[in-house]
Amino acid sequence: MSSFWNRAAACGAALLFLSPFSVPAHAGPVVVKMATLAPEGSSWHRVLQEMGEEWEKVSGGKVTLRIYPGGVVGDEDTMLRKMRVGQLHAAAITGMGLAFLDRSFYGLHVPMMYASDEEFDYVRDRIAPMLEARLEEKGYIVLNWGDAGWVHFFAREAFTHPAEMKAMKLYVGAGDDSLTQLYKEAGFRPVPISVVDILPGLQTGLIDAFNATPLAALAFQWFALAPHMADLKWAPLTGATIIDKRAWERIPEDLRQRILEVSRNASQRLRREIRNLNEEALKVMAKNGLKVEHISPATEAEWRKIVEDTHPRIRGRIIPADVFDEVRRYRDEFRRSPAAGRAMAR
């Protein structure tokens, strides 16, 4: 896993981005350069590799996918900047990263809005067409949707109550001043840094805590320096694989639907696998020193009150009001359905 931080690899990858994608159609196969924070060798990376092999197969070698994993080209904000100038064509990116393009994506990550995978899937499936249309207006095509698991809080010291977390220096993603300010208004001590700086931030004491999925905490070894995790499901972390519309239109038109189908099938395989692997990641971390702190119903109510008190400031300020309302409407619709009872029984 140390290869993620290998500077030589990062420099070598950077050299490959010197030429933009605007090459003539007769120059040979269409090469799509894709970046991701997913560690090399991880399930996310492996599925992307399999997807690329299928692209090449269904296109008869006319479309090739070249993947740069582990954040070697920078964080998600950097990936998007490289896409805008044509140095990068596609990215497998989290919903939080997609919010740099359109704040509507924050609607999928409202803390404690969802109670189960089934509830979240129900909401996402219904607002996905709207989100895809908004991205296309901005020049991006969604190839597929993906999952990273449920986000939890990790910290150096044991904690359960919100007041204990508020005393810690908490990582938040850099680049969104409004979100950072919202954390401050809620009483937290946010420290906005790049995701690739979480490990050195923990090493130097710049941060004391972060929120992430168990699989990410294990893959990047963050948990070794923050070995306490609350068993509170803060929010599901979703994402999407997107491609710049200019690069998409370089792919022969008769191949695009097949490429899209292959990509969507890959995301379905990954969704099932990631949900299982997050459970396995917790077991592995527990064997290596992670302490899972139980959150009682009364303490969970404290966390929920903090979140719900921010809703008037989230709606219309962080998340477009129409998206916030749609998310809540679909969530409540699911909770009235028979499927909600089956989900809670599991």
Cβ count near 218 (within 10 Å): 25
pLDDT at 9: 34
Report the pLDDT averaged over residues 219-246: 95
> In 3D, which of 292, 281, 120, 286 has the Cα closest to residue 216?
281
> How far is residue 237's CA from residue 115's CA, in Å, rounded to a whole number?
13
Q: Which amino acid is at 336?
A: R
Domain 2-345 belongs to what architecture?
Answer: 3-Layer(aba) Sandwich (3.40)
pLDDT at 27: 54
Report the pLDDT averaged over residues 226-252: 95
pLDDT at 276: 84
Whether 150 and 213 have beta carbons less than 8 Å apart is answered as yes
Coil, strand or helix at 284: helix
Burial group, residue 297, by CB count within 10 angstroms (0-12, 13-18, 19+): exposed
> How far is residue 172's CA from residue 211's CA, in Å, rounded to a whole number?
8
> In 3D, which of 69, 68, 71, 75 has the Cα closest to residue 100?
75
pLDDT at 4 over 50: no
Q: Which residue carries 């998600």 as its tokens?
A: 76
> How far is residue 47's CA from residue 36's CA, in Å, rounded to a whole number?
12
How far from chain centre, in Å, is Cα 102? 14
Cβ count near 269 (within 10 Å): 13
Report the pLDDT averaged over residues 75-88: 93
Q: pLDDT digit string (tens) for 253-263?
A: 999 999 999 99
> How far is residue 59's CA from residue 53's CA, in Å, rounded to a whole number?
10
Full-model pTM: 0.82
pLDDT at 214 over 80: yes
pLDDT at 17 over 60: no
Concatenated DSSP letters of 31-87: EEEEEESSPTTSHHHHHHHHHHHHHHHHTTTSEEEEEE-TTTT--HHHHHHHHHTTS
Helix (H) or strand (E) holding 178: helix 177-185
Whole-number average pLDDT of the chain: 88
For residue 206, name the pLDDT band (cuts at 50, 70, 90). very high
Whether 146 and 270 have beta carbons less than 8 Å apart is answered as yes
Distance between first and last Cα of the chain: 34
Domains in the chain: boundaries = 2-345
H-type helices in 288-337, by residue range?
Answer: 297-314, 321-335
- 329 or 267: which carries more pLDDT confidence? 329
Q: pLDDT digit string (tens) for 124-175?
A: 999 999 999 999 999 999 999 988 889 999 999 999 999 999 999 999 988 8
Which residues are within 8 A (CB) of 16 and not within 5 positions of it... i.e. 6 or more apart?
Answer: 33, 66, 68
Which residues are within 8 A (CB) of 265 and not within 5 positions of it... i.e. 6 or more apart?
Answer: none
Q: pLDDT digit string (tens) for 265-308?
A: 988 888 878 888 899 999 999 999 999 999 999 999 999 999 99
